Amino acid sequence: MRALHVGDDALLVEVSSGEEAQALHAELLRRRAEGSLAVREIVPAARTVLLDGLAEPARVAGELTTSEPPPAPPRARDVVELPVRYDGPDLADVAAHWGVSAEEVARIHAGTEFSVAFCGFAPGFGYLTGLPPRYEVPRRATPRTAVPAGAVALAGPYTGVYPRSSPGGWQLIGTTDTVLWDHTRVPAALLSPGTRVRFVPVASS
């Protein structure tokens, strides 16, 4: 574990894997909730956790870098189910990459329980892990200028759902009508780090 100072009151903590980042994020949230860590923001990413608004960043950095990595956090009880139509324009390409049929891609994807590792790119966008490494897929060689809201997509080890229309280079395998981000909802984001997610196939209309 390595802690890098960012400005006057922030630390970027680097770890060796996504699993360690999730565990560290959960542990830091626990410490803040119990009052042993005074920090304004705790933001996880693929292999880092940013702590912003620390009163004593040097002391916290020393504590973190001399301690053992925390154990994996307990799994969330509730599972968010996202209805999905496996009708994406890249479904056939993903099937060819996996060496299976399009129907099998849908079966494998829907049969996987995912977990939100971290959020970013756009409000409400979660990077979901869960697929075995053999199902990793490359990004498209040429990104699309506009990906529709609700597109279910794959890139590298991650699954994601576009919360709004935006450019993107992920492989599109399906569509959901679920609203991922709603500023009138509390919380606005349906998905947050640690959320368990399952995709439920529905028939295309």
Share the mean pLDDT of the chain. 91
Its pTM stands at: 0.77
Give the single-character DSSP code of 183. Answer: T
- Report the distance separating Cα 180 and Cα 190, nearest Å: 5
What are the DSSP calls for 13-26, one per residue? EE-SSHHHHHHHHH
The answer to whether 45 and 163 have CB atoms below 8 angstroms apart is: no
Cα angle value 48/71/38 (rounded, 5°) = 60
pLDDT attached to residue 153: 98
Read off the pLDDT of residues 132-189 as tens digits, 9 standing for 90 and up: 999 999 999 999 999 999 999 999 999 999 999 999 999 999 999 999 999 888 888 8
Structure tokens at 71: 């154990």
Examine the pLDDT at 118 and tell me if it is beyond 70. Answer: yes
**Could you tell me whether strands 10-14 and 2-6 are parallel, antiparallel, or unpaired per DSSP bridges?**
antiparallel
Give the single-character DSSP code of 135. Answer: G
Residue 48, Cβ neighbours under 10 Å: how many?
A: 18
Proportion of the chain in helix, strand, coil states, percent, rounded to 5: 20, 35, 45
- Report the distance separating Cα 117 and Cα 109, nearest Å: 17
pLDDT band of 75, cuts 50, 70, 90: low
The answer to whether 117 and 22 have CB atoms below 8 angstroms apart is: yes
